Amino acid sequence: MMKTAIMTDTNSGVTIEEARQRGLYVLPMPVIIDGNDYLEGIDVTHADLYTAMRAGKDIHSSQPAPGDFIDMWKRILTEGYDELVYIPMSAGLSGSYETACSFANAWSGQVFVVNNRRISVTLYESVLEAHRMAQQGMNAASIKASLEAHAADSSIYITVNTLEYLKRSGRVTPAGAAIAEILSLKPVLTIQGGKLDAYAKVRGMKNSQKRMIAATADDLARRFANFRPGQIRIGAAGTFENPDDAQRWTQQLAEAFPQCQVYYQPLSCSIACPVGIDAAGLGITCLQP
């Protein structure tokens, strides 16, 4: 039986400590603050990032350098594994997938890169599912095929409290951001099929959260109607500085969807860079039987 390792990056929400506990491998994503490079979970925390944001520092996310994941592949394959499955964030959101694929071709079928079209809490569920499949004896090719076949069994909604960081990243024009601020409009964004798209514009954060809950209810009634409640997990997510705000958002979702498993996970530092502080989001993941 082939021994298969599962690897992802911190955009999945898998921390370095959780990876150690579960027997996973996680690549820390880089964050650039005032021109200096930091790695999530190594030398920058959420608190560090939010402090830098409050101070008005220049903040960007970045892709891992090719040498970083190649070095990790080498280490994994010298630790007793025959092959590995690497699950980066969606190819529609980052060039990490394409870059990894270009190097994986030279690894004689030992490295399988998955375009799971997911990020954050939905990617987290994919990583755990891949780990379960590997423990059951499935090989890397089969795990990759399964994850890609079921990639669409998920949905993400997110709303931001400020457009400042989306403006800095070029995802929103300065004029559009200014109008939205004047009208107190909060965009609700969605990821369906791996790309970030506009879903709605709503006045105020509370109404934006209500709109995301309504969108989730519609998804459960329509897109995911064939899944049993026990197969559906809803991950609340956010960049809340105040833990009470995170708890309130999670409780809202738990009360709205008592038939589903609901949990909270902070958005990774590299995702926090474009969405800013006090963003709120959720991910729906439908698990396979």
**pLDDT tens across 255-272, in order?**
999 999 999 999 999 999
CATH match for 154-286 among 3.40.50.970, 3.40.640.10, 3.20.20.370, 3.30.1180.10: 3.30.1180.10
pLDDT at position 39 is: 95
**pLDDT tens across 270-287, in order?**
999 888 999 999 999 999
pTM of structure: 0.91
pLDDT at position 91 is: 72
User: What whole-number percentage of the chain has pLDDT above 70?
Assistant: 91
pLDDT at position 182 is: 35
Quick check: 141 pLDDT over 50?
Answer: yes
pLDDT at position 169 is: 55
User: 2: phi > 0 → left, psi -120 to 50 → alpha, else beta; which?
Assistant: beta
Quick check: 172 pLDDT over 90?
Answer: no
Do residues 159 and 280 make contact, with C-beta atoms less than 8 angstroms apart? yes
pLDDT at position 38 is: 96
pLDDT at position 243 is: 95
Class of domain 4-28+64-149: alpha beta
Question: pLDDT category, 1, cuts 50, 70, 90?
Answer: low
pLDDT at position 183 is: 37
Domain layout of the chain by residue ranges: 4-28+64-149, 154-286
CA angle 246, 252, 256 (to 5 degrees): 150
Partners of 15 in beta bridges: none
Quick check: 195 pLDDT over 80?
Answer: no
CA 148 – CA 87 distance, rounded (Å) = 10
pLDDT at position 93 is: 73
The total of other beta-carbon atoms located within 10 Å of residue 57's CB is 14
CA 9 to each of CA 75, 137, 207, 212, 284: distance values in angstroms, whole numbers, following the listed order: 16, 23, 32, 26, 20
- Average pLDDT value for residue range 43-60: 93
More confident residue, 125 or 90: 125
Task: Average the pLDDT over each of 72-76, 97-101, 120-124 and give the range with the smallest value.
Answer: 97-101
More confident residue, 33 or 183: 33
Quick check: 220 pLDDT over 70?
Answer: yes
- The one-letter amino acid code at 270 reads S
Could you tell me the two tokens for 99? Answer: 């870059």
